[in-house]
Amino acid sequence: MPPTAEFTPLLAPFSPWEPGALPLVVFGAIVLVVMAVILFLSGFLVRRRPTPSKQQPYECGIRPTGPARFRYPVPFFLMAVFFLLFDVETAYIISYAVAWPELGLPGYLRLAVFVIVLGLGLVYAWRKGGLDWDEEEGL
Amino acid sequence: MRQLPWLSLLIFWPLVAACCLPLSRGDATACRRFALLAALGELALAGLIAVLFAGPQPDLPVIEDLAWIPSLGIRYSLSLDGLSLIFVVLTALIGVCCMVASRHDDAKRPALYYALILAALSTVQGIFLASDLFLFALFWEAQLIPVFFLIGIFGHGDRMRVAIKFFLFSATGGLLMFLAVIALGILAANGPTGPTFALTDLTHAAVPVTVGRWLFAAFVLSFAIKIPLVPVHMWLPDAHTEAPTAGSLILAGLLLKTGGYALIRFALPLFPEAAHTFAPLLTALGIIGLFYASAVALAQEDVKRLIAYSSIGHMGLAVAAIVSGSRLALGGAVVLMVSHALTSGGLFSLAGMIGERLGSRRFEILGGLWNKAPRFGAAFLFCILASAALPGLSGFVGEAMIVFGLFKTHIWVGVLAVAGMAVTLVYLLRLARDTLFGPARSPLPFADLNARETALLCALAVCILLLGLFPGPVLSLAAGPLDSIAGLVWPAATPGL
Amino acid sequence: MTAQLVLYFPHLSLALGGLVILLAACLRRTPATLFPILAGVFAALPGLWSLAGPTGASGIGCYYAGLLSVITLATVALTARYAARRGFAGDALYGLVLWSALGMLLLAASDDWLMLIVGLELASLCLYAVVASRLSDPLGTEAALKYFLPGAMSLAVLVFGAALVYAGSGSLIIADSLAAGGPIVSAGLALALIGIGFKLSLAPVHLWTPDVYQGAPAPIAAFLSTGSKAATAAALLHLCAEASPEARELLWPALAGVAGLTMAAGNIGALCQKSVKRILAYSSIAQMGYIAMAAMAVNDGGGEAALFYLAAFALMDLGAFGAVGLLSGEIGDRDDVTAYQGLGYVHPWRAGALAISLLSLAGLPPTAGFIGKFLVFGAALRAGYVGLAAFGIVTAVIGIFYALRVVAALYMQSGVEAHPAIPAPAGPAGGLALGVMAAGVLALGLFPQSLLGAIAALFGGG
């Protein structure tokens, strides 16, 4: 679409042959080639002599124990998620408050619905034990 | 009386009966009796229709036409003319034969066994009656399902693999034909009739020549697999070997005939130009099939497999006759197909009886049955002779007409056909020699035919004799439709017999 | 105000339904059987709304309200007893299912890029959690993760695409922005289609599908493969219908390749599978290839064909996965093909529903799949994609093979003794839903005119 008076596309047509883009293309090509060479050589040159200790997963030198799939409580993580949720909601409410004069009563009602639903969510999380710190069987 | 929906009744009566069968709760005797009654009812229905509409006051074709999917121009439209009537009666007759053919195969689940046979009858009737291409394609695909289960559940040996092989072969062709039907509908939708799948409208649709050839190829591939023509025949011997007796009867008696019928009814009038182009190829394949199948049949060690290969040979001859361009050969092909359904039906039933009595159908344990079981031997010899086209029996009428017709149009094809028939004799005589005559190669006892089996074979023999001695009614029934088809495809050819 | 309330009634009822269920869970002494009942009631409301034929609603919104209502209702019915017997029923499960349906509805009927993204994300986020709802099952957790990572990736691609379209056209309305044309819009559309292709599991980005369907509980897999697929396919149809001729010229060859590859990958991939759920997953991939083919022909009747096919596909996949769920023992889903041997005679009704669904997936008459294939291939031929249609038919033959393998196991092999896992009781709702699905597959196959007529009426005959 040709640029019109009221709207101009944000991006100029992108061409790999324009001076601005050429280094990027060359750089990308070099990266790919170097990566391919390194991967190929490391597979081609190396002679594999596997031993049990070599085949262990690398855990910074510590001997791995137990299965990798187990559950452990992360209550702090849960708190962080709740905080994030309610933190984002304040951003909404503040931006609404700034526009208070224009929005009037309909805007108020809409935000009220939003806050009520949010409150219900908090009640639900509470009842389900999401706010209990030491419970492993929380949410 | 004539206002009843006779054609729908023909299609749905077996289906309804099939749905009622589970009510017998696995009681084998009740199932057999009910299924036999249902099949007899179907035969009576077909006979009644024949008397009503083709009797003293002929009123063919009978047509039923209802809107089904109007937005796509698809109609539930059935039509019964003389050609259809022949095959409809044949289907009902073979259906009755299936019901009495075996008392061994149905032991596992009698209700399911007979329900599947009835469902197969219903779909085959649908193919013979449909005059809307979509409806035809639907029945064409649907007929595979009951036969698939019939072979897969009640067959012998490696039945599951064989059933899937049968289904895949047929479905490949069926789906390509399905695509061709859609394409044809789209081409015709721009015409004066609007979206339509009616055969009569599509016959006059303007199809570009190249497109027409492709579509014809798709149709014929599907029919060739079902007939089966030679390069795509591999499913048939396996399917026959493992199928229960009734399954073989349906395969040889009905499914193969749907292929030939569809070739005459749909492929030729829809694409006359392409039919001319492909006729040499199809003739060549048919004649090659005749020789090839005879050669392979000669090497078989299993009675049923031998008969299966003989089917390929006979149907190859029929295809060569259908596309030959001779009106006489076309009529002969119809008679040959009917005759083949009867004779191979008899042969397959007898082969099934051998398998039931001896547990194997290999030639190495046969021989000398003529002395052990004279009635069985007589029936077997009769069917072999009918298959070998002995004058006076049904095979002769068809083959004689075909040979005369072929000699008129392509003399070399006629010569080859005669040579092929001579080769046919070789393996048929070998079949007779190794089963009936010579020294008995196994000491096993062989019970003669019981009353049920005698009745079945007598009925078939009477039909074979009637068709052989008085082919007139069948020929005159088929004459009208065949004339119009031949007139469409070969306008220059000589009309009439 | 009232008009708007009527217009957004389905959305409101689904959103409120989820809330009500969660609130009910907060009250003391709520019987556990109440949740599926509540979910069923709220899921049925959009369907009733679309039957009433509200004025002012868009055709696609109306159609999808009805379709998603049926899907959700069937899912809830199939899940109810299944989840209760296996100890993962709860308020969250049903609430999330309803909200996910809300997301699908938004996605299907969106006119706006942002609504499309929000709807897709709402539907997916809820589904991630629902897939993992059986906490004790490591496969389910793995499935959720495998669903989440490609999902997040696809969302990123989709958002980037939408951003490019906006950058190139200056509009967020889908129709306006795509009509603008230009290379940037085309590039954005391509990225958006890739993002949608992820969700729709079009090849070569389909690899997550079998793992997820295998890991998810069977009724949930049914919901995944029908609801989410149907809604995403609606978005695909919408984008394809609005694409400018210039973008078509650029993208359609690639889309044709993708559609062909998807049919081949789905059908060939299913050949060697030993797990029924994986077979069904691959078959649903293949079906999406047919949908993609119809989407290319969207302006030649492919849209109507695809909508019909989606409804038919929803019925048959709900039937197939539902039957797998109802045939399963209490421990895990009945998954191995050999575990289905001889079930046709032991549980004739459930196995019969499975067989009918499989035959329909294979596109055999007299089922809905046959008519669906007819419509879809008809649209492709009318739009001139003859080669693609012929290729699709060939792959459909392969599709018949693996469907027959399962059917053959059901009826042609005996071996129930080897796999004695007795199915858990189905429950009246589950049995009823399965019966309705199987009957619906047959009814749509024999009398497709009712649905075709409805689609034609909703879209003004063209």
Contact A10 C167 (CB under 8 A): yes
Gap between the Cα atoms of B343 and B349, Å rounded: 10
* Residue A45, token pair as written in the block: 């040159």
B256, B355, B356: which is closest to B314 by C-alpha? B256
Q: pLDDT at position C415, please?
A: 66
B303, B333, B320, B317: which is closest to B428 by C-alpha? B303
Q: How far is C226 from chain A (nearest CA, A)?
A: 29
Domain of A80, in residue numbers: 75-127
Q: pLDDT at position C403, please?
A: 92
Q: pLDDT at position C95, please?
A: 93
The H-or-E segment that residue B381 falls in is: helix B374-387
Gap between the Cα atoms of B408 and B411, Å rounded: 6
**Domain membership flag for residue A104:** yes
Distant-in-sequence contacts of B180-185, Cβ < 8 A, 24+ apart: B180/B214, B180/B215, B180/B218, B180/B219, B181/B133, B181/B134, B181/B136, B181/B137, B182/C374, B182/C377, B182/C378, B182/C381, B183/B211, B183/B215, B183/C381, B183/C386, B184/B133, B184/B215, B184/B270, B185/B72, B185/B73, B185/B133, B185/B134, B185/C378
CA nearest to C163 within chain A? A10
Q: How far is A105 from chain C (nearest CA, A)?
A: 14
Gap between the Cα atoms of C460 and C303, Å rounded: 12
Counting as contact any 3 or more CB pairs under 8 A, the partners of A are C
Give yes or no for A10 touching C (CB within 8 A).
yes
Residue B406 has pLDDT above 80, yes or no: yes
Contact C397 B172 (CB under 8 A): yes
Q: pLDDT over 70 for what percent of chain A?
A: 78
Q: pLDDT at position C461, please?
A: 42
Residue A15 has pLDDT above 70, yes or no: no
**Domain membership flag for residue B471:** yes
Contact A124 C26 (CB under 8 A): yes
Gap between the Cα atoms of C447 and C440, Å rounded: 10
DSSP string, C434-448: HHHHHHHHHHHHH-T
Contact A11 C184 (CB under 8 A): yes
Helices in C205-332 by DSSP H: which ranges? 208-215, 218-223, 229-242, 245-269, 276-296, 302-327
* Chain A residues near residue C22 by CB distance under 8 angstroms: 120, 124
Residue B264 has pLDDT above 60, yes or no: yes
DSSP B198: B
Asked if C341 and B152 touch (Cβ cutoff 8 Å), the reply is no
**Domain membership flag for residue B324:** yes
Q: pLDDT at position C83, please?
A: 87
Q: pLDDT over 70 for what percent of chain C?
A: 98
Q: How far is A54 from chain C (nearest CA, A)?
A: 27
**Domain membership flag for residue B489:** yes
The amino acid occupying position B419 is: A
Q: pLDDT at position A119, please?
A: 87
Per-residue pLDDT reduced to its tens digit, B478-491: 888 888 888 888 87
Per-residue pLDDT reduced to its tens digit, B342-387: 999 999 999 998 888 888 888 888 878 888 888 889 999 999 999 9
> Which residues from B are below 8 Å from C when comparing CB atoms?
68-72, 109, 134, 138-139, 141-142, 144-145, 148-149, 152-153, 159-160, 163-164, 167-168, 171-172, 175-176, 178-179, 182-183, 185-186
Q: Give Cα C194 to chain centroid, integer Å.
A: 18
Give the count of Cβ contacts less than 8 A between chain A and C. Answer: 32
> Which residues from C are below 8 Å from B when comparing CB atoms?
345, 359, 363-366, 370-371, 373-375, 377-378, 381-382, 386, 389-390, 393-394, 396-397, 400-401, 404-405, 408, 411-413, 448-449, 452-453, 456
The amino acid occupying position C395 is: T
B160, B28, B26, B167: which is closest to C342 by C-alpha? B160
**Model confidence at A139, in pLDDT bands (50, 70, 90)?**
very low
* Number of structural domains found in chain B: 1
ipTM, 2 dp: 0.90
* Chain A residues near residue C11 by CB distance under 8 angstroms: none
Q: Mean pLDDT over residues A56-67, rounded?
A: 77
Residue A135 has pLDDT above 60, yes or no: no
pLDDT averaged over chain B?
88
User: Is the sign of the CA dihedral C199, C204, C209, C211 positive or negative?
Assistant: negative
Gap between the Cα atoms of B174 and B226, Å rounded: 9
CA nearest to C453 within chain B? B71
Q: pLDDT at position A16, please?
A: 60
What SS3 state is found at B66?
strand
CA nearest to C169 within chain A? A9
Contact A124 C170 (CB under 8 A): no
Contact C411 B70 (CB under 8 A): no
* Residue C128, token pair as written in the block: 């991630």
Counting as contact any 3 or more CB pairs under 8 A, the partners of C are A, B
Per-residue pLDDT reduced to its tens digit, B189-230: 877 777 888 888 888 777 888 889 999 999 999 999 998 888
- B194: number of Cβ within 10 Å: 10
**Domain membership flag for residue A30:** no
**Model confidence at A12, in pLDDT bands (50, 70, 90)?**
low
**Mutation site for C-interface testing, chosen from A14, A116, A122, A124 by largest number of C Cβ within 10 Å:** A124
**Domain membership flag for residue B198:** no
Give the up-direction half-sphere exposure of residue B348: CA atoms within 13 A in the CB hemisphere: 33
**Residue numbers in chain C where pLDDT is lower than 70:** 1, 415-421, 460-462
Gap between the Cα atoms of C20 and C14, Å rounded: 10
Q: pLDDT at position B444, please?
A: 80
DSSP string, C147-181: HHHHHHHHHHHHHHHHHHHHHHHS--BHHHHHHH-
Kindly calculate the radius of gyration of chain C based on its CA atoms and give it in whole angstroms. 21
Regarding chains A and B, contact by 3 or more CB pairs under 8 A is answered as no
Q: pLDDT at position C300, please?
A: 84
DSSP string, B313-379: HHHHHHHHHHTT--HHHHHHHHHHHHHHHHHHHHHHHHHHHHHHHHS--BGGG---HHHH-HHHHHH
Contact A120 C181 (CB under 8 A): no
Asked if B175 and B138 touch (Cβ cutoff 8 Å), the reply is no
Asked if C391 and C257 touch (Cβ cutoff 8 Å), the reply is no
Residue B496 has pLDDT above 70, yes or no: no
Of B135 and A135, the one with more pLDDT:
B135
Which among A11, A120, A128 has the least Cβ separation from residue C167?
Answer: A11
Per-residue pLDDT reduced to its tens digit, B53-101: 887 777 878 888 888 888 888 889 999 988 999 999 999 999 999 988 8
Contact C19 A117 (CB under 8 A): yes
* Residue C303, token pair as written in the block: 């849209």
